[in-house]
Chain A
Amino acid sequence: MSESTATKLTTATATAGSAVLHELDGVFDVDVLGPGGIACARTGRSDLLAVARTLRDSYGFGHLDLLTAIDNPPDVGGLDMLYGLVRRDDGEQVMLRVALAEDSLSVATLSAIWPAANPLEREVYDLYGVHFEGHPFLRRLLLRDDFDGHPLRKSYVMGEHGVSAEQVTDAVQSHGIVGPEGDATVAAFPFVGTEKNGDPSLRSQRLILNVGPQHPSTHGVLHLYLVLDGESVIAAQPTHGYLHRCIEKLCESRSYKACTALIDRCDYVSGFHQELAYMLALEELLGIEPTPKADYIRVLMSELVRISSHHTWFTAAGFDTGALTPFLYAFIDREEILDFFEAVTGARMMFNYFRPGGVKDDIQPEAAERLRAWLKRFDASVDEYEAMLTGNEIFRARTRGVGILTCKDIEDWSVTGPLARGSGYDIDLRRDAPYAAYDRIPVNVPLGTSGDTFDRYVIRVAEMRESARIALAALDGMPEGPHLAEGVPRNLRPPVGAAYRKVESPRGELGVLVVSDGSDKPWRLKVRSPALSNLHVAPYMLEDCKVGDVIPVVGSIDVVMGEIDR
């Protein structure tokens, strides 16, 4: 983007991150653009790898948090690559920007430093057409292989009525796969398992199994490409994009307020988190403070939706291992939560409830009382449905010691959320970087020890109880006052700038990057999907697994395809 549209990221105080970048300034060609909530530096294309490596090795920025591109107006040409790095020791963030000219849209891949960059770079390649030099498997991530063009470029012209009938007809007639399939593709996969030692001539023929996109337990439209030796998994590769709905592109042609409706539909199981991250970023851009009461309502809603999201996961945990009844028990309680959402927001799933500066409606006292009574007996209900799985011998045998995720993989693949906490990796944004009213409500973070499917199960069940406690605390501690800040303009035109805010969603750190060019529509709206990064670590969790383990292990990642594909 040109200097005139958006150059600086955020406008908060100077931080340790910007100090680091200033230090680096002497070593590399780094132009510190801060000061900001997130320090941001421009670096040259040739220096990117060296800067990134120094930041990781010498300064401990071990997590690749964000990798995306921001396009420039077509008349300027070229685009900016944006890399967000996080230091887990203190939660510090820095960003790197690399400008790419229109005639050479290519940059070195970071996937050798952070494997997590692999799918994220594929996404940028897919949507922006940036070529990543040295990428091991540069292939479209979300769109069909035969898709024409790179839609997130500003120069890409969408058809007036969306997809044309001819495009649909063409799509129906072909599966859209271009290039080598089968063994040639498998060769590019990260091989996880090892064929058992012994006489190679005794090995059975490899079986390639496509699980999904329509499969009873792929949690939507996930497609897993499995390579099997009998019942043992040798390699796995998640494929997705079956639910890519152009949300980021469509937001660029919507007003800021209208974007909320689309954002809701990203992570359809926990819409409030998606809305909250967007509102936090938007408020930062606009310089609006939400009212104290709104902060509490936001916490209440976030925690309730976390419980309902975990209910959906709990259902899957049961189904994946073949137990039918947990679903029915969990959904009885889920309905109670949805009733409350419906009473307050008018919708069961697609809320469109958070507003810049607060929330749409106040909570009615009757609904609050009913909720309070339910929250108080929630622990007993959790006991009830835990009784079906936690102590069950078969469930334990199916999950304990299966699908182990190590801390190295967590750092390499930018894993966040319960998936990381199951391995004892102590991160939780609600406590580490409190937003909304979390700074006024203490949050306990349950941690696992072994990083297996069972630990992740235990963590999520503990989180349900903890969320109910936080929700009750938010309900009890809710101050009086207005639920919506006054003086928020009807038509939002944030000043030129960019803001990136993250919240702790049920799946991990969910971020929204909003870039404003001063008009009433966002120039770029990027959703950092925690499930996307979490999903791509799956092949490593499937080491030494059997076919029957695949579904429970992938289920324990708790993927929501809407958020992964957007």
Chain B
Amino acid sequence: MSILRTLLGIVILTVIVLVNTIVVMWCERKWMGHMQSRRGPMRTGWHGLMQPFADALKLLGKEDLTPAAADRRLFLIAPLIAFTPSLLVYAAMPWVADFTGVSFDVGIFMIFAIAAIFPVGMLLAGWSSHNKYSLIGGFRAAAQQISYEVPMILAVMGVIMLAESLQLSDIVDSQAGVWNVVTQPFAFMLFFIGMLAELNRTPFDMPEAESELVGGFNTEYSSMRFALFFVAEYVNVFTWSLICVLLFFGGWNGPLLPDIAWLLAKTYLIVFAIIWVRATFPRVRVDQLMALGWKLLLPAALVNVLITAVGMLTNVLVLVTLEVAAAIALFLLISWLGEHAGDKRRAEARTRIALGVSRQAAGRSARKTRTDATAAETEGVSA
């Protein structure tokens, strides 16, 4: 009986997740479309609502190719390794107060641990494809994973300290009064950046990097195996938005409406933010991504732990003030770094270039006089 119940739970959860995934896919194409002053899918179902179904079904019916030179076994299992954890995390994910698969004491770390398997799939895919683009994409995925997992989990430490629990339902309950995004804005900022990197979304879509690496790790994948990567990516978008809501936006807490409505509404707000970023930002370079992760976000996450500790020793007001100040400081720092990116190299270049330009100076003054003469002529004509 209990096995049946478990199976039923798995089926229900999977259906809920996949339906949401399809909605996320549709949202991405529609919202991106409208942000780009076009309409997105219109012809397949009401405003293209059936578009993801058509895409998925069509992919199912395509030929499954394995490159001749590929490491066949790894090539075939890599998509499964990438896809499985994306659903597996829901085992520990609380939806509303009493709708949780398995309520772990260390729920949040359980989720992080399972989610960390995804890049392994990407690495395997990149390695086994026997394609140089895939290889570079796979390696980038692995490097990116290490650089961002650490600051992201450290950023969550603040939340865990406030809730004094690793259990997600406890973390949500601790936000019944004030959401963590108010008391932990700095942590939220770090978490959101880390989350985008974890999801391989713009501006951190290095492993795919369409304009550089064609398709990155999934270049050689077709048919259902590609669909698995594709779906896993969007499941992850939904998953991490959900986690973000549970950690920072009070989970299912909210007045009037039922819990699940609040949860989904908040989740889709985060999904919207992720899509918004994709429509707005270019992509960072791989070494810049590393530098950002290790040199900026990691120390910042440690600072956040410190601030939270100070806040817990004093009072909430101090905590909020410090957190907001730190968040503004980080924002200004990143803006300043962007504003002055490459200044040193540009200064060097200017001196190198100046040597060449001086040879032209004479010619330029000669031309100036000629332009002046032409201008005078023109005036003469118009007069």
Classify A-B as touching or not with yes or no (CB < 8 A): yes
Contact indicator A320/B360 (Cβ below 8 Å)? no
Would you give the 0/1 interface string for A422-466, flagging 1 where the beta carbon is closer than 8 Å to chain B? 011110000110100001101000000111101000000000000
B352 interfacial contact with A, CB 8 Å:
yes
A401 and B286 form a contact (CB under 8 A): no
Q: Which of B205-213, B234-242, B297-305 contacts A (4 or more CB under 8 A)?
A: B205-213
Q: A393-B341, A434-B374, A440-B378 are in contact. Are A215 and B214 (CB under 8 A)?
A: yes
Asked if A426 contacts B360 (CB within 8 A), the reply is yes
**Which A residues lie within 8 Å of B343 (CB)?**
400-401
Binds A, one of B55-63, B101-109, B181-189, B363-371: B363-371
- State which of B150-158, B258-266, B273-281 sits at the interface with chain A: B273-281
Q: How far is the CA of A392 from the CA of B281 in the complex (A)?
A: 8
Given A322-B282, A397-B342, A450-B346, A548-B209 contact (CB < 8 Å): yes
CB distance from A93 to the nearest CB of B (A): 14
Take A322-B203, A401-B341 as given contacts and tell me if A548 and B349 are in contact as well, using a CB distance cutoff of 8 Å.
no
Give the complex CA separation of A255 and B34 in angstroms: 50
Output the nearest chain A residue to B338 by Cβ-Cβ distance.
A393
Given A393-B337, A407-B355, A449-B350, check contact A546 B287 (CB 8 Å): yes
Residue-wise, chain A 369-410 has the 8 Å CB interface mask toward B (1 for contact) of: 000000000000000000011001111111111101011101
Decide if B147 is an interface residue (CB 8 Å cutoff). no
Known: A90-B366, A207-B132, A320-B211. A398 touches B285 (CB 8 A): yes
Query: Is B314 an interface residue, CB under 8 A from the partner?
Result: no
* Contact (Cβ within 8 A) A454 B342: yes
For residue A481, CB closer than 8 A to chain B, the reply is no
User: Contact: A324 with B279, CB < 8 Å?
Assistant: yes
Complex CA–CA separation, A482 to B335 (angstroms): 56
What is the size category of the interface that chain A forms with chain B?
Answer: 35 or more
Min Cβ gap B258→A in Å is 36
Cα A432 to Cα B363 in complex, Å, equals 10
Any A CB within 8 A of the CB of B315: no
Task: Please tell me if the beta carbons of B353 and A423 are within 8 angstroms of each other in the complex.
Answer: yes
Say which residue of A89, A207, A431, A452 sits within 8 Å of B346 (CB atoms).
A452
Contact B281 A394 (CB under 8 A): yes
Of all chain A residues, the one with the shortest Cβ separation from B289 is A548
Residues of chain A contacted by B37 (CB below 8 angstroms): 328-329, 332
CA–CA, A243 to B375, complex, Å?
Answer: 43
Flag if B210 contacts A424 (CB, 8 Å). no
Q: Which interface residue of B206, B339, B352, B367 has the most chain A CB atoms within 10 A?
A: B367
Q: Are B353 and A407 in contact (CB under 8 A)?
A: yes
When chains A and B are docked, how far (Å) is the Cα of A388 from the Cα of B280?
7
Bound Cα distance from A199 to B299, whole angstroms: 32
Task: From A402, A404, A425, A454, name the one whose CB has the most chain B CB atoms within 10 angstroms.
Answer: A404
A408 CA to B349 CA, complexed, in Å:
12
> Could you say which residues of chain A place their CB within 8 Å of the CB of B211?
216-217, 319-322, 551
Query: How close is B359's CB to chain A, nearest CB, in angstroms?
Result: 8
Is B381 at the interface (CB under 8 A from chain A)? yes
A423 to B352: give the CA distance in the assembly, Å. 10
CA distance A163 to B298 in the complex (A): 62
Residues of A within 8 A of B352 (CB): 404, 406
Known contacts A216-B214, A217-B211, A324-B279; is-contact A452 B284 (Cβ 8 Å): no
Instruction: Tell whether, in the assembled complex, residue A548 and residue B356 are in contact, meaning their CB atoms are under 8 Å apart.
Output: no
CA distance A332 to B170 in the complex (A): 51
The residues in A between 347 and 361 inclusive whose CB is less than 8 angstroms from any CB of B are none
Partner of B338, one of A392, A404, A425: A392
Q: Which residues of A contact B334 (CB under 8 A)?
A: 393
Q: Which residues of B contact A322 (CB under 8 A)?
A: 202-203, 205, 209-211, 281-283
Q: How many residues of B contact A (CB 8 A)?
A: 61
User: Does A231 sit at the interface, judged by CB under 8 A?
Assistant: yes
B338 and A328 within 8 A (CB) = no
Residues in A neighbouring B362, C-beta threshold 8 A:
89
- Nearest-CB residue, chain B, relative to A397: B341
Partner of A442, one of B205, B356, B371: B371
Say whether B328 faces chain A, with CB atoms less than 8 Å apart: no
- Residues on B with C-beta less than 8 A from A80 are none
Q: Of residues 192 to 218 in B, which have CB atoms within 8 Å of A's CB atoms?
A: 202-203, 205-206, 209-214
B73 within 8 A of A: no
Report whether A424 and B353 are in contact in the complex, using a CB–CB cutoff of 8 Å. yes
For B346, what are the chain A residues with a Cβ–Cβ distance below 8 Å?
Answer: 400-401, 449-450, 452
Q: Is A151 an interface residue (CB 8 A)?
A: no
B191 to chain A, nearest CB (A): 19
Q: Which residues of B contact A395 (CB under 8 A)?
A: 282
Contact assessment for A402 and B286 in the assembled complex, using a CB-CB cutoff below 8 Å: no
Bound-complex Cα distance A229 to B350 (A): 28
The contact string, 1 if C-beta is below 8 Å from chain B, for chain A 277-320, is 00000000000000000000000000000000000000000111
> Contact at A400–B341, with CB atoms within 8 Å?
yes
**A547 to B283, alpha carbons, bound, how many Å?**
13
Shortest CB-to-CB span from B159 to chain A, Å, is 27
Contact yes or no, A407 B356, CB < 8 A: yes
B5 at the interface (CB under 8 A from A): no
Cβ contact within 8 Å between B287 and A398: no
Q: Are A432 and B367 in contact (CB under 8 A)?
A: yes
Interface status of A29 (Cβ within 8 A of chain B): no
Tell yes or no: A88 within 8 A of B by CB: yes
A253 contacts across to B, CB distance below 8 A:
none
Whether a CB of chain A sits under 8 angstroms from the CB of B345 is: yes
Whole-angstrom distance from the CB of A157 to the nearest CB of chain B?
A: 41
Q: Which residue of A lies closest to B211 (CB)?
A: A217
Most chain B CB neighbours (cut-off 10 Å) among A388, A396, A399, A431: A396
A549 located at the interface, meaning its Cβ lies under 8 Å from any Cβ of chain B in the complex? yes
Among A91, A398, A425, max chain B CB count under 10 A is at A398
Q: Is B324 an interface residue (CB 8 A)?
A: no
Q: A318-B282, A393-B339, A548-B209 are in contact. Are A452 and B288 (CB under 8 A)?
A: no
Residues of chain A within 8 A (CB-CB) of B374 are 434, 439, 442
Closest to A552 in B: B211
- Once A90-B366, A407-B355, A432-B367 are accepted as A-B contacts, the answer to whether A452 and B279 lie under 8 Å apart by CB is no
Contact of A402 among B206, B212, B282, B342 (CB under 8 A): B342
Can you name 7 A-B pairs with beta carbons within 8 Å?
A: A321-B282, A321-B283, A325-B36, A389-B282, A400-B345, A439-B374, A451-B349
Measured CB to CB, the residues of A under 8 A from B are: 88-91, 207, 209, 215-217, 231, 318-325, 328-329, 332, 388-389, 392-402, 404, 406-408, 410-411, 423-426, 431-432, 434, 439-440, 442, 449-452, 454, 546-551
Listed from nearest, the 4 A-B pairs whose CB atoms lie closest are A407-B356, A393-B338, A401-B342, A322-B283
**Which residues of B does A touch, CB under 8 Å?**
32, 35-38, 132-133, 136, 202-203, 205-206, 209-214, 278-288, 334-335, 337-339, 341-347, 349-350, 352-353, 355-357, 359-360, 362-364, 366-367, 371, 374-375, 377-378, 381
Task: Apart from A407-B353, A442-B371, A452-B345, list 13 A-B contacts with CB within 8 A.
Answer: A88-B360, A217-B212, A319-B211, A394-B281, A394-B282, A394-B284, A397-B284, A398-B283, A406-B352, A408-B355, A426-B367, A450-B349, A452-B349
